[in-house]
Amino acid sequence: MIAKRLPERFGQYEKRTIPRISTLIDARFKKYGFLHTFNADEAAKALEDELSDCLSLKTSQKPPTPSEPKRTRFEFLKYYIAAKLASNRADSIIMLNQYLTKPNAEEDVDPLIYWKNSDEEALKLIAKKYMCVPATSCASERMFSKAGQVVSDSRCALKPQIVNALLFINQNYDLLNT
């Protein structure tokens, strides 16, 4: 029953940009972390846009500087290659395809450590942006409040396993009650 209700309850998160990119940038899941392929494709488009923006910021910070012209035959060619503007969109598509075609990371790999050790700078910056800890404590505060209601003065002798079971049932009651 819970397995049937999970897609209904959490399927909406696949349609939001931040969870989409976070799922795709997690090397354990990539496109396989989605229920619908349409949402995986939309996540790839959003990540491609992020990569393109990241690469455009990178190239705008380091404009090529012309060197003193030397009198060698191919010096002009070196200058033109250095001055050539890279197509950020094409680079982002290539980088994303390379990332997605790599094998997924093992399931016990910590995604933050994976990206810390990665040499893909643009994807590393995006992972840092989207895989951060949410700045809220509402869920934990609600759980402690509920625990205070479950373990009252008259129920202070409850075993920890019973308290955990009661809190789990209380937290997931709406999933069980259908």
The total number of residues shown for the chain amounts to: 178
Q: pLDDT at residue 156 above 90? A: no
Do 165 and 106 reside in the same domain of the chain?
no
Residue 13 domain flag: yes
> Is the domain of 90 the same as that of 149?
no
Measured between alpha carbons, how far is 123 from 30 in angstroms, rounded to an integer? 13
Task: Please state the domain count of the chain.
Answer: 2
- 8 Å CB contact between 99 and 31: no
In a domain, 2, yes or no: no
Range of the domain at 147: 140-176
E strands of the chain, at which residues? Answer: none
Of 57, 55, 16, 60, nearest in space to 39 by CA: 16
Asked if residue 88 has pLDDT above 60, the reply is yes
- Mind listing the pLDDT tens digit for each residue in 111-141? 989 999 998 889 999 999 888 766 666 777 7
Note the pTM of the prediction, 2 decimals: 0.60
Flag whether 123 is in a domain.
yes
